[in-house]
Structure 1
Amino acid sequence: MRRTRALRALTGAVLTGFALLAAAGTASADDPSASPGTGRDGDGAPAAAGTTFRLATQIRQGERAAAEGSAGDYFYWVFPADAGQRVTVTATVKLPESAGRQGTSRWRIDVHDGLRRRQACVHGSQTKAAPADAASVELSCTLRTVRAWAEPWSDAPLPGSYYVRLTVVDLPQRDLGLPVRAEIEATSVDAGGAHAVDGRLATPLVPLTVTGPERDDRDSSQQEQDEQQEQDEQQEQDEQQETAEAAGAPEDGWSSGWWTDRWLWTAAGGLLTAFTTAAGYSLARGPGRRPGAPPRA
């Protein structure tokens, strides 16, 4: 009898322990901050950066992203920008302790459009040096106003994806590989109808940031396997294309169209012209004759 009770107690303890472990595992899986493989922190902001254009990390405007890396790495992010927006990209690089650094480092931030053309910065510190005792370095780049349409030969910024590349361009050889933390944020302001143009881009410059795997040629004996593999790759590529296009568009969609606040100024100008014309006509006609007054000689 005692042996049976002891066996039951031991079995109950083991089952309780398994239940607690399962509950802890479920809670850990549900907690976004407990799964580093997602590439996002507890607030949902990206916590990693790509290493090439094709692997750039998708971010949204107004979202502060961060990434851990080493001095000498390339950090890539991509975000959407629409017509009429004047975009400013700011980056902060937090450097390791000065005791482990040998000298001054120089950091640079570049912004490319969807065609991977480097866009000029009209304001901000695109390149900045960090002394050996500096704890961080801040960079910024303000682009020209995004246009709704431009000539093919022009390098004007157009609606679509914009890539941000952050890297160090000069540092002592011994400082290569030191751990750094990069934080980046893209914001924009509405430039207004003064920068509007009479045109619209047919398709935003949103190229695919991810491509499907390349398929190798096979022997004729593996034709069925080739067909199945091709179907799987095509399906995967379609899913990646939909994801990339959805991630590359603003949350409210592309707003490039015919409406700008220039229409308000045009209407106000028309009303002012009509009022001025009526006032000028009244002054040129002179005072009218009073009712019952005799006609002038």
Structure 2
Amino acid sequence: MRVTTMARPAAAVLLAAATLFTTAGAATAASPSPAVSGGEDGAPTEAGTTFRTATPVKQGQKATASASTGDYLYWQFPAGAGQRATAEATVQLPEAATRHGGATWQLDVFDGLRRRQACASGEPTKRALRQDTTVKVTCTLRTVRPWADRWANDPLPGAYYVRLTVSDVPDQDLGLPVKAELRADAEDAGGAHAEGGEVAPLHAAAVAEPESGWNGGWWSARWAWTVGGAVLGALAAIGGYKLTRHPHRAARQQ
């Protein structure tokens, strides 16, 4: 009876532990990450048609998609504080013999709050002539800030949406097949663009966190200037102390 009494609490503990791990495993399996069709290298081969279905793309990864002229194509990529992001889309146009005129292609970039972000450089809108085989549109955003005022439209850390559209196209050309490639890169602006602050990334659940983190790495040019200034200040203090101390030693020796 004594052995049985001691075994019961132990069995209860083991049963509770087994239930806990089983529940955790089931919870993990119940919330899988979004599935995206990809090629052999894992790069996406489809694009979304709305903000909600935007296809996630990693920094430096080339995504492709087959679509029809007139479709709205959406992707999303991550960008952290201190980074300057560039989105570039190349469209392979239908054969010239099947087209009835030119078309204007446009690349728009939105932040996690779906606010359209201005392009600091690049050519986000371009007219493709009837004889052209490809057209390329690019947009380089302003440097992502770690924080901003509520009224400001500054780019903040998190997901960024890319929308590729066509306009001013002959009605007869709508529906013709096209192939699109998108690449989103981000470089560390650093230097004068480094600043303190931290904010939760905007709508970042579906995209991978940048290697330097959402709020940038801990080291920046500001740290270099701060440490360098402190070292120079310490050396100047030591030098001044020695210069002011030596004359008194000489006077006492005399």
Q: Deviations over 1:184-236 (max 9, x none)?
A: 000011111532333211x21016xxxxxxxxxxxxxxxxxxxxxxxxxxxxx
SS at match of 2:59: coil
| Within-5 A mapping of 1:158-177 | 158-177=156-175
Query: Hey, which of these two has a bigger chunk of strand by percent?
Result: 2
* Aligned 8 A contact 1:74 1:166 in 2: yes
Q: Quick one: percent identity of the two aligned structures? A: 52
Letter in 2 for 1:163: Y
Gaps of 5+ in 1: 1-36, 208-244
Pick the structure with greater CA Rg: 1
Q: Deviations over 1:91-146 (max 9, x none)?
A: 10010111111112110000000000000100100101111111101111000111
Alpha-carbon distance in 1 for matches of 2:178, 2:253? 96
| Within-5 A mapping of 1:75-86 | 75-86=73-84
Alpha-carbon distance in 1 for matches of 2:64, 2:181? 4
| Within-5 A mapping of 1:62-211 | 62-201=60-199, 203-206=200-203
Provide the TM-score with structure 1 as the length reference.
Answer: 0.67
SS at match of 1:77: strand
Deviation at 1:81, TM superposition (A): 1.1
Alpha-carbon distance in 1 for matches of 2:196, 2:36? 43
Once structures 1 and 2 are overlaid, which stretch shifts more, 45-54 or 168-177?
Answer: 168-177
Gaps of 5+ in 2: 1-34
Deviation at 1:276, TM superposition (A): 3.5
Letter in 2 for 1:88: T
Alpha-carbon distance in 1 for matches of 2:112, 2:251? 77
Count of aligned pairs: 219
1:260 maps to what in 2?
A: 219
Q: RMSD of the TM alignment (CA)?
A: 2.6
**Runs in 1 of length 4+ with deviation above 3 angstroms?**
251-255, 276-283, 285-295
* Aligned 8 A contact 1:148 1:196 in 2: no
